[in-house]
Structures are given as structure tokens and as C-alpha cells.
Structure 1
């Protein structure tokens, strides 16, 4: 993996906004505005790297499912979600409730060592539009003869087609939390409506706060009192369980098919890291991790079990002692061995490896100036350095003809 400097397109901002990336500007604490989308550079993979990392992501997904089964037993406590939510997640996992997607975060330096898993964002992963759409059109404009590790869009359409066949349903409600002000959740939900629509669903958009309960139907309904049969929600399960309607979620027979399903509470929780290390100690793609304390670790990163975007992260390592602000932590902590991000001339990337239906389908790279990938990171596109036979690039390659939002 190499980082190359690239000349930005003159109209890059207009182009990414037309493609749905309308949330690219972030305000720094000092008042400066920084752009999240960064095409002044790109990362280049070899075909061998892509194939190795694909295999790693798929292996980690299977291992994570085993770790979820272990967490569902309660062997590591109620992991900050409480006994009722844990029971619901266990029932959902046992029932095999259908899911769509997730995103692993890996640290990888391109120097031959194994990639190390940092976490699995498998309930409400964002970063989707830039990874699936914006970087693909960047490739067509800048390097039309090259390939990219990006089959995310096609994989999502296939999965929604599969879910429609599996469930026999045709109407999908898509919900997001309108309190999120950047526009990212809204556009991610809009993009999910797009791929689901291409997969054959009729979609209906709704705010989470507009979901109602009809006592006569004993079902969740939308603003038109239409019963919700299948719902994609971009809202964390642990927050849903705390809402006034949270107790209704325990009545599985009277609930929609939730996508992502309740068992994703077990994968998006940082306790997953400790469960993985417990089940697969010394695995080359894992970092040692423990609940509630650092255990034998002398250098560690403390992660709140429900944390997002780097909030409340604590790092204790040689030359690095810092703590991020935020509102997480009361739910408990996971302590993971500190592993420095690679340094490409001051740019520190994290690989977001997207998984759809258990298959590794693409990569989105975020880079930061410091040791934590937070709100002020940059998204940088990727390419593959050479064209291999079609069989070798079956998952690394994307052939979308166009995407509409």
C-alpha cells in the first residue's frame, strides 16, 4: 500500500455534492472549516494486498459471529445494554434475522505485517456514500484506466434483492434520526433507499421520531398509520432500547423485520474485541483486549463500549497520553492493546473494510493527523496498481454504470 499525491479536480466539491456527499465540511474547535473529502492524495493497493485483506475481513466476520454467540450467553456480563436487550439480541441471533452490511476498521501499513482489527461497526456504519459512490466517480474522472477496491454498491443491491426473495416483502421503511445535523445520516438513509429500490423494494422514508405504535394493530406504524413490516433504521439499538417504545421491541412477534437486526448489538459493542481475544488468543489479526481494565497490558487504548467517532477514547502509551471528550463511558469500557497507526508523511490511515452478507466488498480509507480517527479525519480514495484477470478482481472491482440518489 502506497500513498500518492494527486491533483484535485477543479470542480471536485460540486461533483461530490451531486453524488450525495453533502456533509463533507467539518468545523474545527478553533473555528476553521476542514474538508472531509480529500482527493489531493490516494492510496494504491496491489492485487495481492486486496486479496489478502479480503480474506482477513471475511475471516474476522465469521469469528465475530462466534464471538457474538459467546457474548449472547452472558459470559461477559450484560455489556452495557442490560439483561433484556442481551436476551433480545440472543433471540435474534438464534433466529438468524437477516442483516445487510457492516464495516471493519483495520490498521495496516503495507509493509508485509498482518492487518490488525480495531473494531467492527456493524449496526449503524456510515462512510458509505464516499466509499461506494464518490470515490468510484473520482476514479472514472482521474484514473479511468485503473481499478479500485470497490464493489460495495453492487453488493448492496444484490443483498436487498436477496432479502426481498427471502422475506416475500416488497415495502421497506427507511428511518434515520433527524437530530443528526451534518446531513450524513439523512444522505446515508437516502442512499440505502436507492440501493434497496434498485433491489426491487418500494421504499418509504421516515424519521425515527415519527414511528408510532397502533394499539389496535399491536404494531409499529408510520405517519399514515401504515403498518411497518420491514424497517432499515440508521439508529443504534442500544439507544432504541432506551426510548419510550423500547419495551415494545421485546415483543418480537409484533415487530417489523429490523435491518440491521437486534443481534448487531453484539457486533457493534466494543466488548466484541474482548470476546474475540478470549476465543482466539494470539490470532495474528487481533489485538489483545479485556473488559473493565487493562489486565496485563502496559500500553492500551480504552474504548467505551458504545463509543463512536473517537469520543471518550483514552490512550496510555509511550509518548502518547490523551483523552477525548464525549458523552460515553458509563456503559463500561474495553481495553485494547495500543497499536500505532502507520505514518505516511504525517498522515495516519485506517482501512474501513466493508462486508455485505459476510463477503468483503470494498474499502474506504480515513486518515488523521493524530493517533485517533475522529470527526476531523479525511476520506482518501484508493486504486489498485494493476489490472489482473477478472477472476482475481471479482470482488475488488466495481462496474457500476451510474448511481442515482
Structure 2
């Protein structure tokens, strides 16, 4: 695994805009003056780790349900039965993304699993693939994300239109939603975009409806379950006939309390870091809110002293304490590997890096490629 300088394409901005990546220049988000190079063996390691950890995470959901641990994860009691039923039925799941610390030599370490609302799809599935084809055409990339998403949509519930919802004014989520809309269409299903704020409730049919009062049979939402559960319309979910993607059981996977449950189930596993609901067993650790996005409110402590932190609105529900694992450093940058899961299988990686050991929404996206040797 290497971080290498590379000459940017002269017209890369226009090319990114042409595929819909409108925010590529925000805070220098997309960089192609550098890239990461892997070999095939390292790709195999990442793929195997993602597949194994996803299976372990499913066992952790079952463990949480069997041992009545959902309350410890900050999930309101009124939703416990719905989560159990959804998990037992294995309600349709589209995708998720692990965050790994990996240096190309030692086993990847799971930092967390965003299995509910991960973005960075367009840049992962399309933008970096086009970059590789132009800049390193004789190499390969760990990236079957687009094809796998299209295939997974063919298994989605319902027969009518699939509505894809994002928040008004959030360009990143809108771009991700519009890319997913295209994958739905390529799967042969009708797709419609709607803003979260435009979703209503029809009491007689027990369905969510769009702004035209038309029933929403299947809804993909870039909107976290932990927000939905605490809002006024939240209880309607329990009565709704609308199929929601991601399903409610994935709220367990996206809670960072999952990290502590995994360590209870698989202590000493080489892809896990010791993680607990209290900090007594650790002196150097990452303090993570049960629910947070893009590094917000994460605090890093080394030998009991604050090393780094990122501000934000999270933490009220509680925290977990994960043994501090300093990210590998390449040219004074700390990369995090995003390992994608589509359905139940690994589908590729993306890389975000920062000068800070905490990856945030301002961290750079860096393309990658791999070679056989």
C-alpha cells in the first residue's frame, strides 16, 4: 500500500461535473494529485475482512435482540419488537460501509459500520473508476459497487415506484440520492426523488405519501433511523405498510454500541479493537457517541490526556470507548478505508484522508488502483 503523487487530468473538474459530482471542489474534497496503490493480496485481505465482519455484525444484532440490549444502544422501547420482526424476516437491505484502519501490512481494524445512511457513493462507484480507466488503464480497482447496486435493486420489495428521499438543502445527500435513482432505473424499476420534508402520512391506507398524496410503496431514505424514531411521525412507522430502505433492523448496525457487543462476542478477534460501554479498562481510547456522523463529537485520549477532538451535536444518548488505534500515516496524512457492502457481500473500497487522525465531512476523497504483484 503506497500513497503516490500523480498528475491530475487537465479537465478533471468538468469530467466530475458531467457525472454529477457537483461538490468536488468543496474544501478540495476530491483530490487526484495523489492516489493510493495496492497489490492484489492487500485487496483480498480487505475483501475477506469486510465479508467476515458483516457476518459477525449480523450475529451481534441477534445477540442484542436475544439479550434485550437494545435499550443500552439508545433505541426507544416502542421499536424493539419492530426491529426484531424486521431482522427475523431479513427485510431487504441495500448497502453499508465499514471504516477500516489499514496500513497494507497488519490486519484491517474495524473502526465503525455505517449501515444506514452512508454517502460517497457516486465518487466511489463512478468517479474513481473513470479516473483509473484514464490515468492507469492497465491496472484494476477494487470496485464492483455500481454493478452490485443495480443487481441488488432488482431484489427490492414492491412493484411500484421506488421513492428516494433526501433532506432539502443538503447537496451531498441529493447527489447520492440522484446517483441511486439512476441505479434503480438501470435495474428496471421506476424511481422518483422526494425530499424528506415532502413526505406525508395517510391514515386510512396506513402508508406514507408523497407531495401529491400518492402512496409510497417503497421508500429509500438518506435520513437516520435514530432521528426518525424520535420525531412526531416516528410511531407511524410501526403501523406503516411502506417498505423502508434501509430496514429498521439496520438501526442496530449503525449504532456504535455495536462495537462493544462485537468485542463481547469475539474478544481478541484480529479485525476488532477492544471496545466497552465504560472507559475503566482503557487508558488510551476513542470516545465515540452511540450515534454520530462523519467524526462529529469523537474524542481521542492517549494515556488519559485529550489528543484530538471534533465538535458536533451528538453524544446525548451515551458513548462507547474503543481502544485507541492511531491511523497509519502516509506523507503526514491519515487514510481511512471505506469498505462497501452491497446486500451481504463486499463490493469495493474508497479512501478518505486528513491531516487529523479524526476523519470528518471535510476530509479528502482519494482514488485508488491495484496491481497484481
Instruction: Give me the TM-score of the superposition, normalised by structure 2.
Output: 0.96
Of 164, 168, 188, which residue of structure 2 is paired with 1:174?
164
Q: Secondary structure at the match of 1:327?
A: coil
Of 293, 315, 323, which residue of structure 2 is paired with 1:308?
293
Of 223, 230, 234, which residue of structure 2 is paired with 1:242?
230
The answer to whether residue 53 in structure 2 is matched with residue 68 in structure 1 is no
Q: Secondary structure at the match of 1:37?
A: coil
State the Cα distance separating 1:23 from its structure 2 match: 1.9
Residues 317-326 or 60-69, more deviating = 317-326
Q: Secondary structure at the match of 1:113?
A: coil
State the Cα distance separating 1:161 from its structure 2 match: 1.3
Unmatched tracts of structure 1, length 5 or more: 27-33, 388-405
Report what 1:105 is aligned to: 99
Of 243, 265, 272, which residue of structure 1 is paired with 2:251?
265
State the Cα distance separating 1:375 from its structure 2 match: 2.3
Q: Secondary structure at the match of 1:376?
A: coil
The answer to whether residue 342 in structure 2 is matched with residue 356 in structure 1 is yes
Residues 74-83 or 138-147, more deviating = 74-83
Find the aligned partners of 1:197 and 1:231 in 2 and give their Cα distance: 15
Find the aligned partners of 1:300 and 1:348 in 2 and give their Cα distance: 17
Of 354, 369, 385, which residue of structure 1 is paired with 2:355?
369
Of 213, 232, 252, which residue of structure 2 is paired with 1:225?
213
Of 149, 153, 157, which residue of structure 1 is paired with 2:146?
153
Corresponding pairs, count: 371
State the Cα distance separating 1:266 from its structure 2 match: 0.3
Find the aligned partners of 2:46 and 2:165 in 1 and give their Cα distance: 32
Of 324, 344, 347, which residue of structure 1 is paired with 2:330?
344
Find the aligned partners of 1:38 and 1:187 in 2 and give their Cα distance: 18
Residues 376-385 or 82-91, more deviating = 82-91
The superposition leaves residues 157-183 of structure 1 with CA deviations (integer Å, 9 ceiling, x where unpaired) of 0101122xxx35142111111142xx1
Of 144, 151, 159, which residue of structure 1 is paired with 2:137?
144
Instruction: Give me the TM-score of the superposition, normalised by structure 1.
Output: 0.89
Contact 1:102 1:125 (8 Å CA) reproduced: yes
State the Cα distance separating 1:358 from its structure 2 match: 1.1
Find the aligned partners of 1:222 and 1:281 in 2 and give their Cα distance: 46
Unmatched tracts of structure 2, length 5 or more: none
State the Cα distance separating 1:246 from its structure 2 match: 0.6
Find the aligned partners of 1:237 and 1:168 in 2 and give their Cα distance: 21
Report what 1:393 is aligned to: none
